[in-house]
């Protein structure tokens, strides 16, 4: 069911205590590792987002065909998992998912002994997977490919007859997500050797453990944005920790420059407003691409010009996020430019905002959440607002604590 949200903010001074969703990135890795370790334990504090839900359903199902909708993480992780699981499997998804490339992962798996075929268009889902024992060996991958491809291969590597040696060529993007996978595999008993751009994983067994998932730092970014645009107040976010696996915990440092201070406490973090110290922002989002939409909308609405680099992976997300940001921020009166591969800039250029601001979400949860706080400045409508279920199902319930939905 399509849901449009018409929003305006009823207060500029907010006080809120928010129970964030659990980390989707950690939840999905934990599910795969739990299954690979044949664990008798349930995972505690699992995310209730779409990505995690469809992964859990697939792992618990006796079916041989899986429709994972728009869940990109599930598509990558399950493709690898099913390739080493004996049987014949079909994995498909939404129309947008059928446009998202998966050839790099499929080629890598086939090189390592898998047998995966394309059912429709070459290089894209849906896939037919003939699961069997994998040979393993050595592969080269461009370091700029999605970290989910690399993580998917790493997690099944202990089951490969020859183990797996991944050599990442060039600059590695989203490195914190690779490090997260390594740390979690180690928690489940695996030994991994990381030497520069080379990852070596020998054949071995995982050890089942009880596991609790921490809250999602990417979801926290929208509350940093909300508080900054409100201008005063405080927000407490449950379940976040300073020493986090999540690269997006860097959001605390980014918003410190913009006027939000983070106090780390035993149960979470307290956000309070301080003075903005930044007159312009330059940042390389190679390691935190999911923060780019939050930061672009925030900086525009606060009148802070920016040069954001390292955004190459945004073109193969739920939508082309660079194009989406340019299109939708223009409706708010901001003229952004894509200058070179993976670079998004705003030099302060303005245009007339739309008379009736309707933000398209492009089947992308982060577009909806990043643009919702613009309601501090304009009456806006968020189209297909239900898309937030992908990572933060109760976002609107939380958001309506500070906003009025018409």
Residues assigned a catalytic role? 290
Nearest to 359 by CA among 330, 322, 396: 330
Instruction: Give the DSSP H or E segment for 3.
Output: none
Measured CA to CA, the distance from residue 140 to residue 312 in angstroms comes to 20
Q: Are 384 and 4 in contact, with CB atoms under 8 Å apart?
A: yes
Could you give the CA distance from residue 290 to residue 174 in angstroms, rounded to a whole number? 10
Q: For residues 235 and 255, what is the distance between their CA atoms, to the nearest angstrom?
A: 14
| Collapsed DSSP state (helix, strand, coil) of residue 221 | helix
Q: Report d(CA 39, CA 239) in Å as an integer.
A: 25
Burial 56-87 (b: 16+ CB within 10 A, else e): bebbeeeeeebbbbbbbbbbbbbbbbbbbbee
| Rounded-to-integer distance, Cα 107 and Cα 98, Å | 17
Contact 300, 346 (CB under 8 A): yes
Integer angstrom CA distances of residue 80 from 8, 90, 321, 331: 44, 12, 26, 40
| Distance (Å, whole) CA 329 – CA 337 | 11
* CB within 8 Å of 266: residues ≥ 6 apart: none
Distance from first CA to last CA of the chain, Å, rounded? 18
DSSP element (H, E) containing 268: strand 268-273
- Beta-carbon-side half-sphere exposure of residue 102 (alpha carbons within 13 Å): 34
Residue 126 phi, psi dihedral angles, 5° rounding: -80, 160
* Bond into 82 cis (ω within 30): no
């Amino acid at each position: 069911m399509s849901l449009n949200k018409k929003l305006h903010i009823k207060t500029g001074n907010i006080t809120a205590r928010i129970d964030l969703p659990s980390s989707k990135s950690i939840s999905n890795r934990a599910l795969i590792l739990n299954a690979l370790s044949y664990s008798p334990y349930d995972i505690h504090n699992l995310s209730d987002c779409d990505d995690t839900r469809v992964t859990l359903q697939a792992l618990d199902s006796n079916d041989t065909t899986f429709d994972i909708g728009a869940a990109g993480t599930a598509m990558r992780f399950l493709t690898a998992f099913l390739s080493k699981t004996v049987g014949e499997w079909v994995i498909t998804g939404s129309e947008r998912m059928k446009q998202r490339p998966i050839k790099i992962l499929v080629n890598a798996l086939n090189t390592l002994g898998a047998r995966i075929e394309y059912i429709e268009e070459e290089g894209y889902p849906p896939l037919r997977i003939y699961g069997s024992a994998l040979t393993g060996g050595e592969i080269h991958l461009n370091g700029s490919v999605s970290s989910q491809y690399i993580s998917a291969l790493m997690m099944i590597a202990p089951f490969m007859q020859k183990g797996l040696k991944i050599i990442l060529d060039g600059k590695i993007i989203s490195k914190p997500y690779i490090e997260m996978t390594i740390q979690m595999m180690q928690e489940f008993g695996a030994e991994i050797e990381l030497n520069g751009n080379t990852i070596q994983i020998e054949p071995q067994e995982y050890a089942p453990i009880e596991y609790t998932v921490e809250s999602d730092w990417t979801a926290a970014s929208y509350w940093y944005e909300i508080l900054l645009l409100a201008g005063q107040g405080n927000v407490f976010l449950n379940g976040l920790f300073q020493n986090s696996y999540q690269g997006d915990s860097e959001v605390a440092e980014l918003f410190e420059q913009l006027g939000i201070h983070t106090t780390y406490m035993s149960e979470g973090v307290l956000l309070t407003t301080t003075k903005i110290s930044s007159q312009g922002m330059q940042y390389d989002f190679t390691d935190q691409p999911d923060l780019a939409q939050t930061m672009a909308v925030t900086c525009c609405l606060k009148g802070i010009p920016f040069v954001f680099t390292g955004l190459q992976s945004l073109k193969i997300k739920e939508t082309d996020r660079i194009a989406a940001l340019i299109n939708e921020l223009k409706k708010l009166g901001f003229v952004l430019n894509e200058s070179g591969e993976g670079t998004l800039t705003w030099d302060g250029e303005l245009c007339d905002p739309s008379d009736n601001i309707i933000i398209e979400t492009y089947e992308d949860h982060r577009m909806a959440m990043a643009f919702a706080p613009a309601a501090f400045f304009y009456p806006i409508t968020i189209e297909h607002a239900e898309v937030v279920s992908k990572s933060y199902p109760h976002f609107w319930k939380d958001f309506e604590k500070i906003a009025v939905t018409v």
